[in-house]
Structure 1
Amino acid sequence: MKLKFQVLSMVIIMFIALSSIVTAKEKKIQAPKLNSHAAVVIDQNSGRILYGKNDNKILAMASTTKIITAIVAIENGKLTDQVTVSKKAASINGSSAGLKEGEKVSLEELIYGLMMKSGNDAAIAIAEHIGDGKVENFIKLMNHKALELGLYNTHFVTPHGLDADTHHTTARDLAKATAYALKNKVFQKVSACKEISSGESGAFNKSYNNINKFLFRLPDADGVKTGYTGNAGKCLVASVTHQYGRYIAVTLNSGDRWKDCENLVNYAKENFSHIKIETDSLNILKSRVLGGEEKYLQSTIDKEIYLPVLKGEENNIKTEVQIPSVINSPVYKNDHIGNLLIYVNDKLETTFPFISNKNIENKIYNKAM
């Protein structure tokens, strides 16, 4: 879409109407007890950080790397693709999915082996397949995805996460990456899987069981990935579903990663309530479309928004609508038109996109055709 924000108008700041308030218990908030160098827990839908400890500190990430490896593979390959395992893949050290040189495996099975068994061999096989035979090409895709997601403190050197110079991330970046990946239905299914022997691509060469003990620790746990190297220590990215979405917890270099992530999730559950952000009155806003077959475009927010807040914060929420008064045609349905900014205590906490509700073609171009 050719979109010019020529005039930023229709900026509206208003106090928000609130509904569906779930009251948090009145008590003094205590930080979660953690035995980790860095940690964070966020709300997936809003991206709001609910608690952080050294969450912007750059650290090694071990096999939590494979979260990005998996989502890049899912987005750039087909699950039914057949991959021949190379000698390089089969001989990589560290954790393994048990692949053999020359073995033919579906990309789907490789992704399960990657995530459930933390297979370094699967990581190399995936990288070679998606990267047209070169792991380096796949690493470029991983780093491009990191930039696309705004993971500015993250850099990848390998697809598996074995210790390497300049291969690093932060707890906050990992949480953001996971929030994105868990929007993908295939990634969701793989992340939550406890055991499997077949999939969309047919019967697998072998059966897999998940080494992520967190899946068995809490009833609503649905992922995500363990990690360990000598430099990174024990790491874990965990996900727990709740009524309004998911909590995503990350702990890096932890003395007890299972307990740390459980404590982070419990902290979020015990101290935050979810309020609904009313958006109906915002879905009438329009922009002038230059050169379009229609003169005006209506932008909408296409989902309900629930924001986690501490007790008392519900009275200190403001929103700001940023939609251009004029845009160029053509415009296509679901194009990103503007943003709804949500502030808590005058601090920007999250942003949701306004999208176009229809296609509007360029009338001059269509006539020329």
Structure 2
Amino acid sequence: MKICLTLVLSCVVVLAGTLWVHGQENEDDGEALTGLYARAAVLADGETGRILWGKNEDEPMAMASTTKIMTCLIALENGNLSDTVEISDYAASMPDVQLDAIAGDHFRLEDLLYALMLESDNDAAVAIAEHVGGSVEGFAEMMNARADELGCSHTRFVTPNGLDAEGHCTTAAELAKIASEAIKNETFVKIINTASHSFPNLEGNRQYQVNNKDSFLQMMDGAFGIKTGFTADAGYCFVGALNRDGRLYISVVLGSGWPPNKSYKWKDTVNLMNYGIDNYEKRAIGSDGLDAGILTVSGGCREEVALRADCHKMEMLMGTEEKGEVCVVKDLSKEAPIAAGTQVGWVYYKINGKIVESFPICTMEEVDKKSYGFCLEEMFRRWLTF
């Protein structure tokens, strides 16, 4: 039998797991964000991943060069910055935007990552993919595996540069999740905040300079990324990141206009970020450690066992009308034998009734099943104390 105990508000038994959840519903707060040009948009808590506001956020769409966020992350996680990367004929054949690298030339992986993220060079993306993944197809498999790890079930990568391809898509919500993961990498953040980067090919006969095309870096205090994109299918796209007074926001806009409306993505991003700044503040939920009580044991050498929940206090962005709660869902009893560390429930942190974090409740010690020998010993002990 299970019991659900609520420490702030009443709640019901819920499913286990940590989910990316929505904040206030669009119909409640959409008035504050009317006029967005983007076909799909998201504002998310960059630390917890909770979606604070969304528009068509679960609709699969093309995402153009915002793809390169995952390309860079995979390269950083699986390559070495000092690696030597050769430019293949196929990489050199990529359409604009290009580094204009010559087939057969060699570069440090680190330098190509700057070309990838600052100028969005498509030839650099393919060269990186071939080096890290063995081929574009192999690298796409790595990208998709990483997306699956993050729970991005509607995201599929076909190319490392985001050029339009059948089946290459994501959602605004899942792209925010990928971006939130990427900015945990310090080297990634260093790259996307670099204004310009100069480097030679390793042959030493050509010099290159790449400049950061992210205008959002100069638009708002605390802006630190992340990536622009454009293709005919995707339209103008942008993933932004902003840290203001300890509040970390991720924004995504997909299909934010087509030529000549290149500035729409910036207007949408500023509107999203200002909405977050004006309407969300950090508030604490939960505590460091929680008395999870005991579990009644039947058929065991002991009648009960203590439980532990290794939870901790968290600070999350919440709207003024949002409420946090802690919900404990656990077994009341269990039959022996029970191993130490057996999971018997969950502690859920919830905002407006939706799970934002979860922690397992486990037994602190093992409980053996009653045996014939144990019963004799118990009878003898009681006889001695009679």
TM-score by length of 2: 0.74
Deviation at 1:185, TM superposition (A): 1.0
Aligned equivalent of 2:357: 351
Deviation at 1:214, TM superposition (A): 1.1
Q: Distance in 1 between matches of 2:254 and 2:330?
A: 39
Aligned equivalent of 1:310: 319
Q: 1:104–1:339: structure 2 CA closer, same or farther, 3 Å change rule?
A: farther
Paired AA for residue 265 in structure 1: M
The one-character-per-residue Cα deviations of 1:116-141 (angstroms, maximum 9, x if unpaired) are 11011111001100112x11110100
Deviation at 1:90, TM superposition (A): 1.3
- What are the within-5 Å matches in structure 2 for residues 238-317 of structure 1? 238-255=240-257, 256-282=264-290, 300-301=310-311, 305-313=314-322, 316-317=323-324
Q: Distance in 2 between matches of 1:355 and 1:192?
A: 41
249-258 or 203-212: which moved more?
Answer: 203-212
Q: Which structure 2 residue ranges, 5 or more long, are not aligned?
A: 10-27, 258-263, 296-304, 363-386
Q: 1:70–1:252: structure 2 CA closer, same or farther, 3 Å change rule?
A: same
Q: Distance in 2 between matches of 1:328 and 1:95?
A: 57
Pairing 1:193–2:194 present: yes
The one-character-per-residue Cα deviations of 1:64-102 (angstroms, maximum 9, x if unpaired) are 111111101111111111111111111111211232212
Q: Count residues in correspondence.
A: 319
8 A Cα contact 2:309 2:347, kept in partner: no
Q: 1:191–1:245: structure 2 CA closer, same or farther, 3 Å change rule?
A: farther
> Aligned match of 2:224 in 219, 222, 225?
222
Q: Distance in 2 between matches of 1:93 and 1:283?
A: 60
Aligned equivalent of 1:182: 183
Paired AA for residue 349 in structure 2: I
Identity of aligned residues (%): 38
Q: Distance in 2 between matches of 1:337 and 1:220?
A: 43
Paired AA for residue 275 in structure 1: R
Deviation at 1:355, TM superposition (A): 11
Pairing 1:15–2:8 present: yes
Deviation at 1:344, TM superposition (A): 2.1
Q: Distance in 1 between matches of 2:228 and 2:209?
A: 19
Q: 1:352–1:208: structure 2 CA closer, same or farther, 3 Å change rule?
A: farther
Q: Distance in 2 between matches of 1:211 and 1:230?
A: 19
Aligned equivalent of 1:4: none
8 A Cα contact 2:150 2:178, kept in partner: yes
The one-character-per-residue Cα deviations of 1:306-365 (angstroms, maximum 9, x if unpaired) are 12222232xx32123568996678x9xxxx9996532222223x1255799xxxxxxxxx
Q: Which structure 1 residue ranges, 5 or more long, are not aligned?
A: 1-7, 17-27, 288-294, 357-369
> Aligned match of 1:235 in 229, 234, 237?
237
8 A Cα contact 1:318 1:343, kept in partner: yes
Query: Which has the greater radius of gyration?
Result: 2
SS at match of 1:113: helix
Q: Distance in 1 between matches of 2:89 and 2:294?
A: 58
Paired AA for residue 264 in structure 1: L
Q: Distance in 1 between matches of 2:233 and 2:324?
A: 42
8 A Cα contact 2:350 2:357, kept in partner: no
Highest RCO, 1 vs 2 (Cα 8 Å, sep ≥ 6): 1
304-313 or 46-55: which moved more?
Answer: 304-313
Q: Distance in 2 between matches of 1:327 and 1:196?
A: 56
Deviation at 1:285, TM superposition (A): 8.4
8 A Cα contact 1:283 1:300, kept in partner: no
Q: Distance in 2 between matches of 1:283 and 1:44?
A: 30
> Aligned match of 2:111 in 109, 112, 120?
109
Q: 1:312–1:205: structure 2 CA closer, same or farther, 3 Å change rule?
A: same
Paired AA for residue 320 in structure 2: K
Aligned equivalent of 2:170: 169
Q: Distance in 2 between matches of 1:327 and 1:127?
A: 46
SS at match of 2:208: strand
Q: Distance in 2 between matches of 1:297 and 1:50?
A: 34
- What are the within-5 Å matches in structure 2 for residues 333-348 of structure 1? 340-348=347-355
Paired AA for residue 69 in structure 1: T
Aligned equivalent of 1:160: 161
Deviation at 1:187, TM superposition (A): 1.2
The one-character-per-residue Cα deviations of 1:247-286 (angstroms, maximum 9, x if unpaired) are 0000011130001011000011111121012422438889
8 A Cα contact 1:84 1:103, kept in partner: yes
Deviation at 1:246, TM superposition (A): 1.4
Aligned equivalent of 1:364: none
Q: 1:300–1:189: structure 2 CA closer, same or farther, 3 Å change rule?
A: farther
Q: Distance in 1 between matches of 2:285 and 2:55?
A: 28
Q: Distance in 2 between matches of 1:257 and 1:118?
A: 17
8 A Cα contact 1:275 1:307, kept in partner: yes
Paired AA for residue 352 in structure 2: N
8 A Cα contact 1:71 1:181, kept in partner: yes
8 A Cα contact 2:286 2:349, kept in partner: no
Aligned equivalent of 1:53: 55
Aligned equivalent of 1:206: 208
Paired AA for residue 135 in structure 1: V
